[in-house]
Amino acid sequence: MEIPQTGILEVNLESNSETLSIESDDQIEKIVKALSSKTRRNILQLIQEEPMDVSNIASSLSMTEANISAQVKKLEGAGLIFCSYSSGDHGVRKISSIRFNKLIIKF
């Protein structure tokens, strides 16, 4: 019987130089759920190069702004991105930025 390896699972998000170590089961669940969606992973890939607002993300992924806004909220809730607000042509723009370049989950 082969014993499974234990250690660290790393998910490299290739951006900022900050690192987040996660040891809480609740945090791990939020992050794993956030990463389980292809759309949310696509959003993370898009904003690696530069911050983007919901409208531009929606346009790039050919999705509705309402859907992208909901997905961004889940990524933000998991702590994978942070959002800032600035004035735009038609109100306030929510701009998403990637928060970490590496995610390490310790078991």
* DSSP for 23-63, written as a single string: --HHHHHHHHHHHT-HHHHHHHHHTTTS-EEHHHHHHHHT-
Is 8 a domain residue? no
Q: Band of the pLDDT at 14, cuts 50, 70, 90?
A: very low
Residues 6+ apart with CB under 8 A from 64: 58
Query: Is 80 a member of any domain?
Result: yes
Residue 38 lies in a domain: yes
- Give residue-wise pLDDT tens across range 33-82: 999 999 999 999 999 889 999 999 999 999 999 999 999 999 999 989 99
Note whether residue 96 is domain-resident: yes
Say how many domains are in the chain.
1
Portion of the chain with pLDDT greater than 90, in percent: 46
Please give the full DSSP string across 17-30, using - where no structure is assigned.
S-EEEE--HHHHHH
CATH of the domain at 40: 1.10.10.10
Q: Is residue 50 part of a domain?
A: yes
Answer yes or no: is 40 within a domain. yes
- What is the pTM (predicted TM-score) of this model? 0.76
**7 lies in some domain:** no
User: Per the domain annotation, does 49 fall within a domain?
Assistant: yes
The parent domain of residue 78 ranges over 27-106
